[in-house]
Amino acid sequence: MSESNRSDILVHTEAGIRTITFNRADKKNSITEAMYATMADALEQARDDVAVRCVVFQGDMAIFSAGNDIGDFLQQSAGGAPSQDASQRPVWRFLRGIADFPKPVVAAVCGPAVGIGTTLLLHCDLVYAGDNAAFSLPFVNLGLCPEAASSLLLPQMLGYHRAAEALLLGEPFMAEAALEVGLVNRVVPPAECNALAQAQARKLAAKPLSALIETKRLMKASQAAQVAQRMGEEGASFGRLMAGPAAKEAFTAFMEKRRPDFSKC
């Protein structure tokens, strides 16, 4: 049994289950570069640890994650393309780590799941949602483009038109809609969500790990190369757009607490 000493992300391992908990509710569980580093490290260690058979991501009953911490994001410039140097930044390490993680990954989502809070779910194997969950992908609204291969995976999962609505408008959609399109497995009251995810993780942890890993590999084999390629393409576009006028206006407006004006972008 172990526990991380970094309070914004709690990492707890017991009975074959590594639980990664967003623990920054006062900041809406917005993710900093340090938090990405903690999660990337936790996944890398879990990948190599034969005692870890399953990983669970969870927040609390009111909030899963508001996405990137905007102030930290701007300071760290974590949106750059994954070049030789940038590829080792924590955000890219985390995205690669969850995309090709070989063991089962379960998520429990309550409240808002914004940006990466939604796109990380595309790389989970089982997702359970509280009936208060709200998923949103506001990349275009920030003058940016999708990440985590969501421009590939969302159309495959939702169909093109629903994916276009989610990515081009960036408006939230609720738990029942996510259930309908297959983004989540089950919708339950928020007070039951984390417990359900843990119960399902215990079932997975009791199964033969070699069979779990091979079954997951076979299910994902046809798209693995596409995911890696698309993440690279998105990263290059994301970095280019981050330096453009639309993103500068969006982030300036956010910091100034006003509506952005994209009329000249």
pLDDT confidence of residue 79: 43
- Is pLDDT above 50 for 113? yes
Taking a C-beta distance cutoff of 8 angstroms, is the pair 238, 226 a contact? Answer: no
Q: Where are the beta strands (DSSP E) in 65-147?
A: 105-109, 112-114, 126-130, 134-136
pLDDT at 84: 42
Average pLDDT, the chain: 93
On whether the pTM is more than 0.85, the answer is yes
Helix boundaries (H) for the chain: 33-48, 70-76, 90-99, 116-119, 150-158, 160-164, 175-181, 190-205, 209-242, 245-256
127 pLDDT higher than 80: yes
Task: Provide mean pLDDT across the span 134-151.
Answer: 97
Domains of the chain: 2-190 (3.90.226.10)
- Give me the pLDDT at residue 77, please: 57
Q: How many CB atoms lie within 10 A of CB 243?
A: 11
Nearest Cα neighbor of 91 from 140, 135, 34 is: 34
What pLDDT score was predicted for residue 260?
A: 96
- At 31-90, the pLDDT tens digits run 999 999 999 999 999 999 999 999 999 999 999 999 999 988 888 754 444 444 566 789
Is the pLDDT reported for residue 4 higher than 70? no
- Between strands 9-14 and 17-22, the pairing is antiparallel
